[in-house]
Chains A and B, each alone.
Chain A
Amino acid sequence: MGSNMAECHPVAFQWVVEAKQNGGKLIHVDPRFTRTSALADRHIPIRAGSDIAFLGGLIHYVLEHQRYFPEYVRSYTNAATIIDERFLDTEDLDGFFSGWNPKERRYDNSSWQYAGGVIHAAAGQRTAPGALERATVVGGSPPQEDPTLQHPRCVFQLLTRHFERYTPEMVEKVTGVSRAAFLELAQTICDNSGRERTTAFVYAVGWTQHTAGAQFIRTAAILQLLLGNMGRTGGGILALRGHANIQGATDIATLFDVLPGYIPVPKVDDPTDLGEFCSLNGGAAGGYWGNLQNYLVSLLKAYWGDAATADNQYGFEYLHRLTGDHSTYQSTLGMVDKTVRGFFVLGENPAVGSAHGGLHRKGLRNLEWLVVRDLYEIETASFWYDSPEIASGELRPEDIDTEVFLLPAAAHTEKSGSFTNTQRLLQWHEQAVEPPGDCRSELWFAYWLGERIRRKLAQREDPRDAAILKLNWNYPLLQPGGDPDPHHVLREICGWDGQGTSLPGLGAVRGDGSTTCGCWIYAGAFAGGTNLTSRRRPHWEQNWVALDWGWAWPMNRRILYNRASADPEGRPWSERKRYVEWDEKTCRWIGPDTPDFPLDRRPDFQPSPGATAENSLSGDRPFIMQSDGRGWLFAPSGLVDGPLPTHYEPQESPLRNALYEQERNPGRQLFRRVDNPYHPSAGEPGSEEFPFVVTTYRLTEHHTAGGMSRFLSRLSQLQPEMFCEVSPELAAERGLRPGGWATIVTLRASIEARVLVTPRVTALKFGNRTVHQVGLPYHWGSRGLVRGDSANDVFPLVLDPNVHIQEVKAATCDIRPGRRPRGGIS
C-alpha cells in the first residue's frame, strides 16, 4: 500500500517475485493499477488519501474476530497498560482527542499518558515540556497494567473502542473498496500471520505525503503489532525510500530538528543545562534512549573536539535553538517573504520536486543569493531565464535580482563515500575517476567553504563566531587542495575513544568526554579500524542474511527488534519462522542475524530497582528503543496529532468525512495566504469547481524531479512527455481525447499534459456519487532533453504536523480538454 514497488524499486521487487514463486501472495492496494498491480495476485483500487480508514478497518476486523496474536500482544505491546483517566477519544469528542487547544491549533498530550506517569517517545519528546517536567517518567514497566486486557482504560480496550466504527461497510463508504474485496484481503492477512506465517507491509510516499502521513504508518504499525508481524522474518513495515542516501541524510542529519542519530535539536524553552536537557528528552527514560547524554556528549566532542570540555558542557552552549517548525516549506515561505536571503541547494530540485512549484520559484526569485550544486543545470538553477513564469511573459530575467552560483558536482563515481540504503545498510562506493573540470564533491565543497569562512572570521574576533572557529575542522586531505579523506570522516562519525581507537559499537559511547562519536547509531561501522561499510563478500559465500556485505545500523542488525522473533521465554515462535533465539548453553542470544538485544540478557531477566536505560527493561521486552520496551498500540508521546490514528479527509476532498464531524486532521499545518489558495472541499461553496481527485507518482523510467533522468537520452526516450492518466469514464465525461492534450486546473496553477486514457484508472463509486481520480507523474520541468509541465505546481502547501511533509498524494482539481492557455500560467 502506498508504494508502487515494481516501478519505483524494481530491483528490490525481484524478492517479491521470488516470494510469489515460492507461494507468497501479493496484494496491491493503490488508487491506480500500476506495474506493481500487474504482477499482484490482487489489485484493490482505493480512493487516494483514505488509507487510515482501510487499515483501521483491518484493525477492527482483527480485534472483532480475535485474529490477533495473543501471546505477542500481551507480552510485546502496551495492550495491557492503563491510560490516564482524563483521556478522551475521537469517539467521545467527534474527531478530536482530549487536550485540543483550538487557539493554538495543537494538542496538550498530558491526558494521553500512562496512568501514574508520563512516558517519553523515542528520539526525544516533541510535546510541551511543561507537562513532562513535573511527572514521574516511566522507564521499564508502566505503573498500572491489566494483563487480562479487560480494564476499560487499558490500551487494548481503548483500541477496540476507537476502531469499532471502522466496519467493512464504513471502509466501503470511505475508501471505495467493496466489502467483499476488503473481507477477502482481511482474511488473507490474518491467515498469513501468527506463529507459522508472517505478512509484510511495504509503503512509500503514497502513505507519507498526506496531512496525516505519520498516522498512516502508525495504523500499519498497530495492525502489525496485533498480528505479531514485527521483528520477524517476512514481517515488518518496510519503507521504500526514493534516493540513494535519503536514509543516511536523515540519520546524519540534514534535517532542522534532529542532530546526527536523531538527537533532538534544543528548543528555545529547553533547559540550558546539558544534563537537564538530556533527562527531559529521554535521558530519564528506559531503553537505549536513556543513554541520550552519552550520545549527545560524544557528538559534541566530534563537533568541537578539544574545545568541548566539561567546563563548557562539551559545547552544548554552542548549539543553536529552535523556536518552531523551521522545515523546508517554512524556508520557502521565508524566501518569498524575504526573511530568508541565501539558499544552498545540494543535489535537489525544489523548483520541480516540491509541492507548489510556483511558490518555490517565487521564493528563488526573492533570494539575495542562491548556490546550486548539481550534475546538470536543473530548473532550480535556471528559474531566472527558463521557467513557466518567464515563458508566459509574466517576468523577464532583468526583473529578477537573485545572484545565482551554479557549481558543478562530482558524481558518485568520482568520489568515495557511503550511502545508507532503505533498510539502513551502509554501503561504500569507491572513487573510479577524477571529477571533470570544476566538478567537486560536496565533501570538498563543505570542507573548503568552511576553511575559507573560518579564515575570514578568524580576523574578526567576534564572540558570536566561537562555535564556528572552535569547530574541529582538522581533516587529512587526499591531496593538497583536494577532498578531505572520506574514510577519516566516516571514522569520526563512527567514533573513537581516548586512545583514538575506533569504537566497537554504540555501547562504548560515553558521556564523560572520553569518546568522540559523530553519530551514535553508526558506532561500530569502523570497528577494529576497518571500514566495514566497504565489505563486499559475495552473497554466495555467506548465509542469506549476508552480514558480511556492508554494515547496517545499529550494530549490523538486519531485522530490527528481532528479539520479537522468539517468544517471551526466548524460543522460536515456530520452526518455520526461527530467527533469533536464546541459547541456554552459551547463555546468549543466537541466530543468523545480530540479535537486536543485549547479547547475554536472559529472557527471564528482571531489572533491579533504580536501573536506567536498557537495564530498566526486563528480558522479554524486544522494543528496546521504547521507554517500556514494548511496541506501542497506543502512542502516549511522540505524535502531535493523536495517540491513535483517525481517519480524516485530505485538505481538499470530494467527500465529507463519514466518520467524524471533524473533517480534516485538526493539527495539520495550514498556510492561509493569497499565494497558497486551498480549494473548498465537499459541502463547501465552490467545491464543484474542482470535482476530481488528483494524485502524483513517478515512473520507472525517470527519477523524482528529473535531475538525474531528463538529461539522459536513454531514459528520456522511454518516457518523453508529461502525461495524465484518466479513466475512460472521465475521458468521456470531459471530452478528453486519447493522445490529445488536457489541462489540469487548480487555483495554484494550470498545467497541461498529454492524455493517456486507461482502464487502469478506476472511477470509484460512493453511494450515488462517482469520484474520478487524475494521475500525474511529476518528473518534468522546463529543462532537459524532454520537457513538460510540473505536476507539483498544482498542489498547495499543507503539511503533516509531525514531520512537516506536504500533501501531494491527494488534492482536488478540474480537468479540461486542450492545452493550457499560452502566455499566462494561472
Chain B
Amino acid sequence: MAIRRSLRMWPALRQLTENDLLGLGTAATSEKTRSLQARTETADRVVPSICPYCAVGCGQLVYVRDQRVIQIEGDPASPLSRGRLCPKGSATKELVTSPLRQTTVRYRRPHGTAWEEISLDQAMDMIADRLIKTRADTFEEVDQQGRPLRRTMAIASLGGATIDNEENYLWRKLMVGLGVVQVENQARI
C-alpha cells in the first residue's frame, strides 16, 4: 500500500491520472510540497516584543516552538511600525539564535594570552571583590574644604541604551548606593 501511495504521488503519474497533462498546475506537487506549512503555524506560542535595534520601537512577534525562537517578524498591530521591520529588525532571529553568541563566562587574567573559562558564580564573586576593594581604596568622604563627596572616582560604567528601563534603574540605584559617580550611556555619545 505504501508503495502504491508513493507511486500515485509520482509527478508524471499524477499528470496522467489527474488530467493535468501539462504538469504545470497544482497536480504536480510532491508530498513535501502538499504538506508544506509555514513554521509560524507550528509555534507553541507567539510572544509580543519590541525590536532591540534603533529607537523607533517597532513591534515584533516572537514565535517559539520547543523553547526555541523559530521566527521573529513585525507586529502588524503596532501603530508605529504596522508590522514592518528594517533589515536589522528582520535579522533579529539571527541576533538572538546565532551560534556565535557568547554563552559562557570568559576570564582573562592580567598579562594572560588566552581566555579562560570560569563559572558565573566565581566571576560574580571576583567582580564583587574588585568593586569593593577599588571603592574602599579610593573612597572620597569629603573634599579639601570638608564638603561632602561620598563617592569613588575610580570606577566607571558605560552602557544602558541597549538594555531595559528596569535594568538601567536598578543598575543606577546600585551605583548611587556605592557612590560610583561615573555612570554613563550611549546618550552622551
CB distance from A462 to the nearest CB of B (A): 8
Q: With A369-B130, A404-B108, A467-B150 given, is the CB distance from A253 to B172 under 8 Å?
A: yes
Q: Are A244 and B161 in contact (CB under 8 A)?
A: yes
B94 / chain A contacts, CB cutoff of 8 Å: 712-714
Q: Are B181 and A347 in contact (CB under 8 A)?
A: no
CB distance from B8 to the nearest CB of A (A): 40
Q: Are B165 and A245 in contact (CB under 8 A)?
A: yes
Which of these binds chain A: B10-18, B29-37, B50-58? B50-58
B189: which of A259, A302, A328, A701 is its contact (CB, 8 Å)? A328
Q: Are A11 and B81 in contact (CB under 8 A)?
A: yes
B76 / chain A contacts, CB cutoff of 8 Å: 538
B56 / chain A contacts, CB cutoff of 8 Å: 9, 11-12, 240, 421-422
Does A197 touch B at the CB level, under 8 Å?
Answer: no
A181 / chain B contacts, CB cutoff of 8 Å: none
CB distance from B77 to the nearest CB of A (A): 4
Docked complex Cα distance between A51 and B185 (Å): 26
- Count how many pairs of residues, one from A and one from B, have CB atoms less than 8 Å apart in the complex: 485
B163 / chain A contacts, CB cutoff of 8 Å: 245, 249, 346-347, 417, 442
B161 / chain A contacts, CB cutoff of 8 Å: 242-246, 249, 347-348
Which one of B50, B106, B155 has the highest number of Cβ atoms from chain A below 10 Å of its Cβ? B50
Interface size (A, Cβ < 8 Å)?
164
Q: Are A471 and B173 in contact (CB under 8 A)?
A: yes
Residues of A404-455 contacting chain B, CB below 8 A: 404-408, 411-415, 417-422, 425-434, 436-443, 446-450, 452-453
Q: Are B166 and A490 in contact (CB under 8 A)?
A: yes
Residues of B79-93 contacting chain A, CB below 8 A: 79-82, 84-92
Q: Are A453 and B128 in contact (CB under 8 A)?
A: yes
Does B123 touch A at the CB level, under 8 Å?
Answer: yes
Residues of B114-156 contacting chain A, CB below 8 A: 114-115, 120, 123-132, 134, 136, 138-139, 141, 143, 147-151, 153-156
Does A671 touch B at the CB level, under 8 Å?
Answer: no
B42 / chain A contacts, CB cutoff of 8 Å: none
Does A402 touch B at the CB level, under 8 Å?
Answer: yes
A401 / chain B contacts, CB cutoff of 8 Å: 110-111
Q: Are B100 and A711 in contact (CB under 8 A)?
A: yes
Does B39 touch A at the CB level, under 8 Å?
Answer: no
Residues of A213-269 contacting chain B, CB below 8 A: 240-256, 259-260, 265, 268-269
Q: Are B111 and A421 in contact (CB under 8 A)?
A: no
B178 / chain A contacts, CB cutoff of 8 Å: 453, 467-468
Chain A residue nearest in CB terms to B182:
A331
A355 / chain B contacts, CB cutoff of 8 Å: 189
CB distance from B144 to the nearest CB of A (A): 10
B55 / chain A contacts, CB cutoff of 8 Å: 9, 240-247, 421-422
A320: which of B49, B84, B85, B181 is its contact (CB, 8 Å)? B181
Does B24 touch A at the CB level, under 8 Å?
Answer: no
CB distance from B53 to the nearest CB of A (A): 5
Q: Are A246 and B185 in contact (CB under 8 A)?
A: yes
A371 / chain B contacts, CB cutoff of 8 Å: 127
Docked complex Cα distance between A519 and B169 (Å): 9
Q: Are B53 and A251 in contact (CB under 8 A)?
A: no
Q: Are A260 and B132 in contact (CB under 8 A)?
A: no
Q: Are B172 and A254 in contact (CB under 8 A)?
A: yes
Chain A residue nearest in CB terms to B86:
A10
A540 / chain B contacts, CB cutoff of 8 Å: 77
Q: Are B184 and A256 in contact (CB under 8 A)?
A: yes
Docked complex Cα distance between A227 and B54 (Å): 30
A377: which of B45, B106, B186 is its contact (CB, 8 Å)? B106
Q: Are A456 and B132 in contact (CB under 8 A)?
A: yes
Does B6 touch A at the CB level, under 8 Å?
Answer: no
B79 / chain A contacts, CB cutoff of 8 Å: 539, 542, 544, 546, 549
Docked complex Cα distance between A437 and B78 (Å): 32
Q: Are A536 and B153 in contact (CB under 8 A)?
A: no
Which one of B48, B126, B134, B186 has the highest number of Cβ atoms from chain A below 10 Å of its Cβ? B186
Docked complex Cα distance between A353 and B87 (Å): 21
Does A27 touch B at the CB level, under 8 Å?
Answer: no
Residues of A8-24 contacting chain B, CB below 8 A: 8-12, 14
Q: Are A419 and B158 in contact (CB under 8 A)?
A: no
A426 / chain B contacts, CB cutoff of 8 Å: 165
Chain B residue nearest in CB terms to A243:
B161
CB distance from A308 to the nearest CB of B (A): 12
Docked complex Cα distance between A321 and B181 (Å): 8
Does B170 touch A at the CB level, under 8 Å?
Answer: yes
Other than A250-B185, A715-B91, give 5 A-B pairs with Cβ distance below 8 A: A256-B182, A406-B105, A421-B80, A443-B166, A538-B76
Shortest beta-carbon contacts, A-B, top 4: A417-B164, A421-B57, A346-B159, A437-B103
Q: 14 interchain pairs (CB within 8 A)?
A: A240-B55, A265-B181, A303-B176, A319-B150, A331-B156, A341-B134, A346-B171, A369-B127, A419-B50, A420-B165, A429-B50, A493-B169, A536-B48, A539-B82
B-to-A contact residues, CB < 8 Å: 45, 47-60, 62, 64, 67-69, 72, 75-82, 84-92, 94-96, 98, 100-115, 120, 123-132, 134, 136, 138-139, 141, 143, 147-151, 153-174, 176-189
